[in-house]
Amino acid sequence: MNRLLKRALRIFLFLPAVGFLVTGLRFAVEPAGAVKGLAMPLLHGAARSSQIGDVGALFLGMGLMILTALVTLKRTWFVAPAILLFLVALLRVLAWLFHDAALMTPMIATEIVVGGLLLLAATKLARGE
């Protein structure tokens, strides 16, 4: 893979990393806005605590893992958020198939594309470990 394509791949991964970080931080400081952007209501009581903690941590974690991957170029840091994204996409499809949820095709497509880019980066950008 030539240098220009490698640079483009790093940029294409930097953008969702920042987006994930922003979304995760919004869960910490403005959860009502964060959930609106994800087409979900803000829950109440213990459910709100779980929603803010679990979903916020997922987004912050993925963003930090991608940034760590881009800095260290270690394969593991590319693969870990890819696994999370593919699992989120899979669970969305299962929610649609078995639990009467809406099929969130744009979100699923984004998760699969970013996950795929992360796996591509794991093979093309990562240094040997």
**The residue to which tokens 């109440």 are assigned:** 44
Average pLDDT over residues 63-89: 98
pLDDT digits (tens, 9 = 90+) for 35-57: 999 999 999 999 999 999 999 99
**The residue to which tokens 């979903």 are assigned:** 55
pLDDT at 127 over 90: no
What is the pLDDT at residue 1?
73
Confidence (pTM):
0.93
Domain ranges within the chain, ordered by starting residue: 3-124
Bridge partners (DSSP) of residue 74 are 127
For residue 92, the surrounding DSSP H or E stretch is helix 75-98
User: Taking Cα atoms as reference points, which of 81, 70, 68 lies closest to residue 119?
Assistant: 81
For residue 43, the surrounding DSSP H or E stretch is none
Read off φ and ψ for residue 116, nearest 5 degrees. Answer: -65, -40
Mean pLDDT of the chain: 96
What is the pLDDT at residue 129?
61
Read off φ and ψ for residue 96, nearest 5 degrees. Answer: -70, -45
